[in-house]
Amino acid sequence: MCVGTPIGDFALLSLIPKFHGNIFFLSTALNFVYSMTAGAFVSMMIGEEKEKKNLRTLILSGVKMYEYILSIVIFPFLFSVSAFAYFPSFFGVAIPSWPIYLIIAISTSLIFILINLSIGLFAKSQMHASLFSFGAVMVANVLPILADLSNTKLVKYIVDWSFIGANTEYFIKLEQFRITDNSILAMLLWIVGLLILTKFAFAWNRKEHV
């Protein structure tokens, strides 16, 4: 799977008049790119390394957690950065506040990376990693659709506190979005919780292979 394929596909779709200038489609495109580049690609890489026993070799050789994580996520993260930096202009959507947009985009990419790092580290094989990461992809792409179709408080509450809540709410509100929105707090909680989970997952792998 080529990590840059989703970016190229959506860049071409943005040229279609039906999608150009469509805020909801931009949000959908970014969620899909995050879930594939910063997401599924990461967990599948780790799953493959576990199958080939490369992860075991690295852990036994004394590789630190941060060194391993950086080696895995640097390129997927750069692909995500290129997506959220250029997609608004591709789709002809004006971003009212770039600082807030960048905070949300970078944080959302980080959340996808951490989710899939944990999936990859806990999965027994590349197939298991693929199955669980596909579940994350489905959630990331279905929840914004539910938020767009339903105005019920329950759906809004679920979306706000989900791992894509801030990204979804931002594109719904745009100028009305505030940094004090509940989805921002949820985003921070997800990042802290996933950092702890990722650290535990790496420690668990170290314990299993020592």
- Of the listed ranges 26-30, 36-40, 101-105, 168-172, the least confidently predicted one is 36-40
Q: Is residue 170 scored above 80 in pLDDT?
A: yes
Distance from C-alpha of 119 to C-alpha of 141, rounded to nearest angstrom:
18
Contact 120, 68 (CB under 8 A): no
> pTM of the full predicted structure?
0.86
Calpha distance 165→160 (Å, rounded): 4
The string of pLDDT tens digits covering residues 83-129 is: 888 889 888 888 988 999 999 999 999 999 999 989 988 888 778 88
- In total, how many domains does the chain have? 1
Question: Domain residues for 176?
Answer: 5-209
Q: What percent of the chain has pLDDT over 70?
A: 90
**Token digits of residue 12:** 């071409």
- In tens, the pLDDT along 49-84 reads 777 777 666 666 766 767 777 877 888 888 888 888
